[in-house]
Amino acid sequence: MKATALEFRLRMWIQIAIIAVGYWSPWVGAQDFSRRISTMEWLALALSRTGLMAFHYAAPVVIVLAALVAGAGMILRVWGAAWLGYSTVHDSEMQGGGVMAGGPFRYMRNPLYLGGWFLIIALSMVLPPTGALFTIVLMGVHFLRLILGEEAFLAGKLGAPYREYLRTVPRLLPCLHSALPRVNGHPDYGKAIPAEITAIGIFVTMAFLSWQFDNRLMVVAVVISFMASMLVKGLLQAPIATIVFVISAGAGWKVFHLGAVRACVIALGISIIAAALTPKRREKA
């Protein structure tokens, strides 16, 4: 059941595809988005129908719970990314430099995946109910496959120290008191916070924008946070190509009056050429 190397390399695109299908939910009417009910509204209605509380009380309860789940996911993502390091978290290949047992990794082996799943649960509030169920289940299976693939890779590469770590630290359910000694590491929040803008954006959307009861606004906010996250990652990994993309897309849209999608597609092609022509940085020995 473990993920292949190709699945790991394409994990971001697989996750985008799952969320996109969940939002689209073609089985409930592929074109009529205006008449769909969001999971947040559906949960509030279901709670009010139980007779426990009126809808105007149930809606804030659902919003607060969604914000708490998003907040937990955001904290785990930022905390874990700060300790593990930007390059390891976002590398297209599995990394096995050593056993990471600092920060949240003292209490669970996979805080990043657990945080990601919490964020998916929160994000599913803007999807149709069946789309939310589809997304949560498939993302859970996808994350589990990634976890099993990484654990098999690390066990083979790191050997006995990692197998001892597997026996000591739980996979997903955090232990309250870790038996591992504290690690005197240096978490890099300066890179972790900008790289996790999507997680922060989902939390901000659920904690603040959801009170507007405007599902379209919430979707736009999440998309903007995702695009900002991609821009930051691009600046960290390929700054010249990213700057070329931004300038080209802006010029195509504003100067040449192209549609946004067409301008971005053309800019993407130009940035790929720029990336190919940019001299690669040599790693320090």
Phi/psi for 31 (5° steps) reads -105, -25
Using pLDDT thresholds of 50, 70 and 90, give the confidence band for residue 285. very low
Confidence at residue 173, expressed as pLDDT on a 0 to 100 scale: 92
pLDDT digits (tens, 9 = 90+) for 269-283: 898 888 888 776 554
Confidence at residue 33, expressed as pLDDT on a 0 to 100 scale: 66
pLDDT digits (tens, 9 = 90+) for 71-102: 999 999 999 999 998 888 888 888 877 888 88
More confident residue, 33 or 179: 179
Using pLDDT thresholds of 50, 70 and 90, give the confidence band for residue 150. very high
Confidence at residue 31, expressed as pLDDT on a 0 to 100 scale: 62
Residue 32 reports pLDDT greater than 70: no
Return the CATH number of 5-222, one of 1.20.120, 1.20.81, 2.60.40, 1.10.3470.
Answer: 1.20.120
The alpha carbon dihedral of 174, 153, 96, 90 has a sign of: negative
Model's pTM, two decimal places? 0.90
Confidence at residue 260, expressed as pLDDT on a 0 to 100 scale: 79
pLDDT digits (tens, 9 = 90+) for 157-194: 999 999 999 999 999 999 988 888 888 788 999 989 99
Cα–Cα distance measured from residue 149 to residue 2, given in angstroms and rounded to the nearest whole number: 4
Residue 51 reports pLDDT greater than 80: yes
Residue 149 reports pLDDT greater than 80: yes
pLDDT digits (tens, 9 = 90+) for 192-251: 999 899 999 999 999 999 999 999 999 999 999 998 998 888 888 888 888 998 999 899
Question: What is the separation of C-alpha 244 from the centre of its chain, rounded to a whole number of angstroms?
Answer: 25
Confidence at residue 280, expressed as pLDDT on a 0 to 100 scale: 63
Phi/psi for 41 (5° steps) reads -70, -40
Confidence at residue 284, expressed as pLDDT on a 0 to 100 scale: 42
Range among 34-48, 77-91, 120-134 with highest mean pLDDT value? 120-134
Burial class (CB in 10 A: 0-12, 13-18, 19+), 72: middle
For residue 164, which amino acid is it?
A: E
Domain with CATH 1.20.120 in the chain: 5-222
Are 79 and 188 in contact by the 8 Å Cβ rule? The answer is: no
Cα–Cα distance measured from residue 253 to residue 263, given in angstroms and rounded to the nearest whole number: 6
